[in-house]
Chains A and B, each alone.
Chain A
Amino acid sequence: MRIDLDLFQEIFATIRSNRLRTFLTGFSVAWGIFMLILLLGSGTGIQNGIHHEFKGIATNGIWIHQGQTSKPFRGLQTGRRIEFVNADYEEIKATVPGVEHITARFYKWGNNTITYKEESGVFNIIGCHPAHRYIKETILLQGRNINDNDLDEFRKVAYVGLQVRDQLFKNETPIGKHISINGVLFKVIGVFDDERNERSQRIIYLPITTVQKVYGGRNRIHAVMFTVGDATIEESKAIQETVRRKMAARHHFSPKDEKALRIWDSVEEFQKFMALFRNIRIFIWLIGIGTIFAGIVGISNIMLIAVKERTKEIGIRKALGATPWSIISLVLAESVLITTLSGYIGLVLGVGTLELLAGNLPALDLFRNPEVDFTVALGALALLVTAGLIAGFFPARRAARILPVEALRDE
């Protein structure tokens, strides 16, 4: 196909002589793309919402908190509190297959007064193992994470959240400074950000061994958390069951007791959401492509009528030496030009509307920042050109088959 100024002048001449027809054709395509972009953008909005739900949390993590028994077991009453100890952590770590990164947690909620010089604040304290950062994802801003040496040597070191730093240190560098936690001095070794929420940024992580020693925790822990690599839902459920069985044996509760351990499985939660999202996306593409297909049929139809109207003109062109291919390229180029141009307008309007929505909608739990990325826009553009070619194909073929004699017959 010769794509040059002449071809475009030919096309613009025909468009000029059929303004309404061209407008109606273009409108249907623009509308199709507009709807597709809106739908895709909403799909991304849902996806963003889901990802936001899981921000700061490993999507392959299992969180096990101690609970209360809800079934009598071997003469033991219901309502008994399960209390985790270090040995539980050690056993899960050593004997449960499929466990990747693992940490225990020792919670010190409540009125922890933390002071630095004149400044003070109330923050939550969690004792943990170094692998904690893989399950509850924190972003290291300054300094370093808690490491094995800290635990082995019972070091009094603190890994503090962004809000803690801002409240206590103002403009000072916190690393290496000592803060007082309930009267005991700890050295700040690192500062983290946590994208989940502000509350997560008001936490101070300490080596779990130090916490147990300083705050009279002895060998007590409150939770065990671990990741399971790229396990499927079924595999992660099997791992859960293994843990439940082992803990049931250690703490004398029924393995069928759902309340003795409080287990939260982000693998299952996340994959449920992802499956839901996948279905929504398939639905969106189906509708979007359906709308565009209607546009294609419309264009094809109108181009067919146009070719019929122009039968005589095409006959004249053939008598003047036009090859079938030059006629085909004329019709195809017109179709592609109309679809691409009007589709582009739809694309811009769609993206603009999304921007407007994103700017003015309140961030909902499962819907935020609707947007379309560059590749989707490029894909839509490729779709448009293809659509134009498909839409132009049948009319172009008909045009190429016009016999000059029949076209020129005077009637």
Chain B
Amino acid sequence: MIRIRNLHKTYTMGKNVLHVLKGIDLSIEQGEMVSIMGSSGSGKSTLLNVIGLLDAYGDGEYFLNDVLIKNLSESRSAHLRSRFFGFVFQAFNLISFKSALENVALPLYYQNISRKKRNRIALEYMEKMGIRDWAGHMPNELSGGQQQRVAIARAMISQPKVILADEPTGALDTETSYEVMDLFQKINAIGVTVVIVTHEHDIAARTGRTINLKDGTILSQG
């Protein structure tokens, strides 16, 4: 599903060149549940963004489903993103002026699916995440756990091949964190690849494989 060969990524900040990823070799198969661990600044979020086509990379090669991903146009990568990936963030990133239901249904709006149909599908997914009763609420009326469930429902609604989660439990208490991890495991059980970036060992322990990152290089992977 995901194959990465000798991938480099640098950021230029004024005169300073920041070498964030220094030759990453990595492959993730379909149906895997993988965690990427590392301290802050290790480049784990950058790696996740590159995988999710949110960010470009420098040298190296990245094959997504055997297709080389390089120099994509904005609209092409938008298209691929909506077909392959669902994103879950630490800060939930719900759109504040939209109800939970509208947030969940938003990816389908960008797939030109009618309002009626996407709201119906959104309700199904909210049902699966156990937050159907909160469909009409605004994000600021929901608890952190509920918001993350909304975000996961939103990530799942476009039936992605891969869920990319950047510190999904970073803003949640332990109990809620485990509930969220239960959800990810359920999602993985139906065949969706799940990649979770975290710095918590107990979260990483619940995935099938852990990739350890330090200073832009892989220390160990599973």
Contacts and interface: CB of A to CB of B under 8 A. Distances in A.
Interface of A: 2, 5-6, 13-14, 16-17, 312-313, 316-326, 400, 403-405, 408, 410
Given A6-B109, A408-B89, A321 B81 contact: yes
B52 A313 contact: no
Contacts of B109: 6
A17 B97 contact: yes
B95 A313 contact: yes
Interface string B85-111: 001011101011110000000110111
B212 interface: no
A362 B53 CA distance: 71
A319 B79 contact: no
Given A17-B97, A312-B93, A322-B110, A405 B49 contact: yes
Nearest to B106: A320
B35 to A, nearest CB: 19
Given A320-B154, A403-B54, A404-B54, 10 more contacts: A16-B97, A17-B96, A317-B95, A317-B106, A318-B78, A319-B87, A323-B78, A323-B110, A410-B90, A410-B91
A319 B52 contact: yes
Nearest to A406: B55
Interface in B148-165: 154, 158
Contacts of A410: 90-91
Contact of A321 (B55, B89, B95, B107): B107
A326 B52 contact: no
Contact of B112 (A2, A317, A400): A2
Contacts of A313: 95
Given A408-B89, A410-B91, A403 B55 contact: yes
Interface of A is mostly: helix
7 contacts: A5-B115, A6-B109, A317-B110, A318-B54, A320-B107, A322-B110, A405-B54
Contacts of B30: none
A5 B93 CA distance: 25
Nearest to A9: B115
Nearest to B98: A13
Contacts of A5: 115
A354 to B, nearest CB: 40
Contacts of A317: 95, 106, 110
A18 to B, nearest CB: 9
Contacts of A326: 110
A5 B115 CA distance: 9
Given A403-B55, A404-B54, A324 B98 contact: no
Nearest to A319: B87
B78 A321 contact: yes
A319 B81 contact: yes
B132 to A, nearest CB: 21
A321 B158 CA distance: 10
A70 B90 CA distance: 102
A320 B55 contact: no
B108 to A, nearest CB: 9
Contacts of A321: 78-79, 81-82, 107, 110-111, 158
Nearest to B160: A321
B97 A13 contact: yes
Q: 8 tightest A-B contacts by CB? A: A321-B82, A321-B110, A323-B78, A17-B97, A404-B54, A405-B55, A320-B107, A324-B74
A400 B73 CA distance: 12
A317 B82 CA distance: 10
Interface string B186-208: 00000000000000000000000
B75 interface: yes
B87 A323 contact: no
Contacts of B78: 318, 321-324
A313 B91 CA distance: 12
A111 to B, nearest CB: 86
B93 A408 contact: yes
Contact of A320 (B79, B82, B112, B115): B82
A316 B104 CA distance: 12
A321 B90 CA distance: 19
A404 B109 CA distance: 18
B102 to A, nearest CB: 8
Contacts of A16: 97
Nearest to A17: B97
